[in-house]
Amino acid sequence: MKKILLSFITLGLLLCGASCSRKETRDVEKGSISLIPKPQEIVEKSDYFQLTRRAAITLDRSNEALVGIARYFNGKIAPATGFELPLEKHGKIEFKLTDDAALGDEGYRLQVKRSDIILTAHKPAGIFYGVQTLLQMLPPCIKSGKTQPRDTKWLIPCADITDAPKFRWRGLMLDVSRHWFTKEEVKRMIDEIAEYKMNVFHWHLTDDQGWRIEIKSLPKLTEIGAWRVPRVGQWWHREPRQSGEEATYGGFYTQEDIKEVLAYAAERYVRVIPEVDVPGHSLAALVSYPELACMNAPEAVNVGNKFYGEDENTLCIGKEETFEFMDKVLTEVAALFPDEYIHIGGDECYKGFWHKCPRCQARMRAEGLKNEEELQSYFIHRMESILKEKGKKLIGWDEILEGGLTPDATVMSWRGMEGGIKSAKAGHHVVMTPSEHCYLDLWQGEPSVEPDTYSMCRLSDSYSFNPVPDSVPAEMVLGGQGNLWAESVPTFRHAEYMVWPRGWALAEVLWSGPEHTDWNSFYPRVEKHFVRADEAGVNYARSMYNAIITPGKAEDGEMEIALSSELPDTDIYYTFDNTDPDHFSPKYESALRVPKNATWLRVVTYRGGKPSGKVITLSIKDLEGRISRGK
């Protein structure tokens, strides 16, 4: 009876072996292909293509890029299927480059028919992105990394897809200074972003809490600057290094490590943009080379304790040795990284020590600079000149606007969109990455049930991102990116939790374009990709299921509490009587008044009659405090 039932289910359903539940096998039905990012055009069919070990790949074997993509595809499917596809002249899957320039450098057309699959593109990058789409059309257990039963049927829904990206810069930044991530973890993140058609990995390599890149001509940067004493606890509230403590936490990437990462990224069509954050955020460099400080360099790499304005973390602009140091650093960075851009930071530069420094003041007088903002601009101009000599372009955070922007700089706008708008109107290319949409280190839901951080950026906030504001020339906006600052991200597992699913939202905005976004079609696809992430062992946040609790004041001055959710099909239940809520508790219908003498509010969300979000418990005093703090 069991065999008969299973045979019946296979008619029109997507079977993916014992590791996939029956619910997860139904994606072959028309209208249920769950792709992120959403293609520009898709026509779904009712049939399917069955992938077997006999389904060889046809391509131009003289084209090393296409052969590399076929190797990549086999590497993705082999662990689960137990087979790789050979390259043959008459295979059922064809990778083909065409003269159709309308597809651009990254566009593709994917035709999945019952008999064969044809993937065409103008450039190899388009073939690679078509492969990502193809992999997402396979059952979730393709990502399990474990060989599935031999009788598994690998069925791909038939469809005709034409697709190309809206923006050419679709990035993610990973801060490896505040917390150390290994070479293998960096490669894993690059692989994860490539699967969602993101094409820029911004590598934040230096900061106050660690220098992570080997500079052979300046060995102390990694001998000293890459290490700090171990600490846990809340960032900015940690005890500074004490006398006698050994600096054992940290690490750095050798130049050979970096070459390995770059080769790995290139195979996945991901550009790697290095960041050396100067002239501020340089405490680790000053500890390594104290002579670069204005007055007194700190004695130890910062551990996450407060220091801003107290300990020097800014390079001295009055010393010519600073520019000799930067030339050595940028010479080796430029030789290592093939991309046209090098990011020099330029953000949050404390200028108080420059104001007190006689050498910096002498530099200002000699150069006719009116203030310390113009002194920073002087430094940035010299960085641009150094980079130009090495055939590179300068990109920096929007603070590089202060004191006057260098002629050919590209601006990465993080303090809202204003810096990007100003730069674009002045004829500079910009990458938009405003914190309210793109900072992935922020809370993604109710703070009381989220890991510690300092502000809010929900999944729906990331999905509502539009990189091109009104009145800005669209051609000046290269695209956007998500930024994961790592102050409160001590492990790679937690890094994944913070990036996904907000990274999927940004991937769709930047590939499909804001005009093609639709929240009501997006979040169901996110739920399907949760299943894929589970199979791959990728961590992610389920914060979109949690209730949103918003206290405020009613007209009579009494506290009133609004409850809501990011997802429209959500029921919310609550209690004030110190019991845990469930679907037998009062259901939220309108703003709540707090009963007399109540001490706690507890809230839970349900979808489809089952609990979906976490039980949230907040004291009435905490809710009152949120009102007084305006949060």
Let me know if 348 is a catalytic residue: yes
Cα 571 to its chain centre, rounded Å, is: 31
Let me know if 281 is a catalytic residue: yes
From the list 105, 348, 560, 622, the catalytic residue is 348
Please report, in angstroms and rounded to a whole number, the separation of the first and last CA atoms in the chain. 59
From the list 163, 195, 207, 257, the catalytic residue is 207
From the list 179, 202, 281, 429, the catalytic residue is 281
In 36-123, where does DSSP find H-type helix? 64-81
Q: What is the largest CA-CA distance in the chain?
A: 91
SS3 583: coil
In 240-371, where does DSSP find H-type helix? 255-267, 283-288, 320-336, 352-356, 358-367
Q: How many CB atoms lie within 10 A of CB 19?
A: 17
d(CA 99, CA 120): 10
d(CA 428, CA 143): 41
d(CA 506, CA 498): 13
Which residue's structure tokens are 């309210």? 436
d(CA 276, CA 293): 17
Counting Cα atoms < 13 Å in the Cβ hemisphere of 596 gives 0
Let me know if 207 is a catalytic residue: yes
Q: How many CB atoms lie within 10 A of CB 319?
A: 18
Contact 582, 611 (CB under 8 A): yes
> Residue 553: beta bridge partners?
559
Question: Active-site positions?
Answer: 207, 281, 348
